[in-house]
Chains A and B, each alone.
Chain A
Amino acid sequence: MGRVRSLAYLGYRALVAHPLRRLFRQGSGSERFLASYAPEGLSPTSPDDRAAGEAASACISCGLCESACPLAAVAPSVRDLGLHAAFRLYSKSSLALGPGAEGLEACSSCGGCESLCPTGVPIARLVRSFAARARGGAPA
């Protein structure tokens, strides 16, 4: 009996409630996404973010990039966390970028890291993109 009721409810959702909601829904897709997910700390993934994430996924965490990073020698936030940690943090959640924001902001895009990356991660571009995200995505 419970099974029939469950199926009837699913049918009602699929055939009546969902089409009606689609007819009368308000706001753009990203607005609705934000309304649903922003309270949980999730921000929408733009095509740029997706491209950055895919480029970052080539990182093998070898740490060679840091050996050419002048910031790593002077900025405690970069030195303690490490540049490649930014990729790992990013892969978990953009909220986790907060602790690295100071280091990301301080990057002068000298490109020393990129010339040492074995797997060709476009590090300078990623750092810029992460920094923008850390600025925009940091919790209030």
Chain B
Amino acid sequence: MAEEAAPILCDVLVVGGGMAGAIAALAARDAGARVVLVRRAPGSTGLSGGAISVAHDPSALPEVPFAGRAGVVESARRVAATVAGHPYQVLRDSLDRLWNAVEFASGQLSHVLAPPTGRNRWLLTPFGKVHPAATCQRSMVAGDLAEARGRMAVVAARGHLWWDAGLVASGAARARHLGAPEVQVALLDLFMWEEAALARPVDLARLLEAPGAAEQVGELLAERLPRGSTVALFPPVLGLTPEARVAERIEGRAGIPVAEFLSDVPSVPGLRLQRAIDLRLGAAGVEVLRGEVREASALALEARVGGRKVVAKSWVLATGRFAGGGIARRGELVEPALGLPVLASEGPFAEAGARLAARSPWALTVRDSRSPQPLLSAGLKVDGELRPLDAEGRVVNPRLFAAGAVVGGHDQASDGTGMGVAIFTGWLAGRAAAGVARAQRALPGVG
């Protein structure tokens, strides 16, 4: 007879291994808790472009130069003041600690993230847009349009169809009057090894990781880059692992700073960020379990992961939204892990606090594509301490916290606050969960 394995006991169980879950786990670990993190697969962090967008000023006029824009925390305050139901608004009393959370995250992930400066960096996307981010990966810093001086060369590989360097350069050209440097396209015979001409971003990233490959590219740059170039901007393929240090190796031979622009999916920088998170979780002593949470109970806070029971003193639910599977559409919108109610917090259903589970998803889209879409910001409703609320507005369980995109009220894919909300809510929820676990331990006869 198979004997059941002993249950895993811990202080804090974090469900979800994206940015929000990872920061929650690291913050709880930092507070001295024993943390178990359950994850299934990458979600929107792995799919992200690899930059950390926290907030940009919703009221800024497009003609204001980069240097004159509001700082990150001030921008978040303006988001909180203007976007009803946004997590920044729900947490407005804690917003003065937003910067602590961002600094904690970039410190924990310092092997891949650049230190934040307090203002937004302005980074180019593959589609010629300029995207503000509170911080970004170290391999992107030199591409910050607000900082770069001189002449930027957008590197294009001859014969490759994956990116349009001209489109990227045109984005920088349009931002010239905002403070962007001069930009030109440099067409090089890159990636001309056998088979490389047809390779996709992940293949190119792996090729560049190989010993000697990045150095070869650096030498080519030194030889062929147009005179006067001060920064070389690459497609986002500079290595899948942070340890490969592809950008630094190219810089070493090329003699000028090298950066990559942001990515569309499948995203090499997103995968690199996810890998950096996984490495950091292991190094910080967070026990990571692979698998799905089953038979979970929001009242008892018990669940099974891969057949083993997990008992925790407090939980952080950081399961993401549609990409991560934290909110799913099964005829109606549901929260599959614990069956918590999914609520709308913007659009025509906001005032009623309508329970979305009763509505079909297509009823939650608005025809005007520029107006807020209730479907895209659907998620859990939480109180100011990030505890999920039921349909009547009561706290479901004082030992249960939610973080990241599973918390509704923001459209994390497009409103420019997705990573910021993940980091801020993750940090707050992780610390709160560790605090609850500590208090539980102190009670006689519990735990």
Contact = CB atoms under 8 A, between A and B. Distances in A.
Contacts, number: 51
B42 A80 contact: no
A60 interface: yes
Given A118-B46, A118-B324, A119-B325, A62 B41 contact: no
Given A79-B198, A120-B40, A62 B265 contact: yes
A64 B47 contact: yes
B43 interface: yes
B292 A118 contact: no
B323 A60 contact: yes
B271 to A, nearest CB: 6
Contacts of B325: 118-120
A113 to B, nearest CB: 10
B265 A116 contact: no
A115 B40 CA distance: 7
Interface magnitude class on chain B = 20 to 34
Contacts of A60: 322-323
A62 B47 contact: yes
Contacts of B240: 67
Dominant secondary structure of chain B at its interface with chain A: loop
Contacts of B198: 79-80
Interface string B35-52: 000001111101100000
| B202, B206, B265: most-surrounded residue (chain A CB, <10 A) | B202
B16 to A, nearest CB: 11
Nearest to A68: B202
A62 B292 CA distance: 21
Interface of B: 40-44, 46-47, 198, 200, 202-203, 206, 240, 265-266, 271, 290, 292, 320, 322-325
Given A118-B320, A118-B323, A120-B292, 17 more contacts: A62-B47, A64-B46, A64-B266, A66-B200, A67-B240, A72-B200, A79-B198, A80-B198, A114-B41, A115-B290, A116-B46, A117-B41, A118-B42, A118-B43, A118-B47, A120-B40, A120-B325
Interface of A: 60, 62-64, 66-67, 72-73, 79-80, 114-120
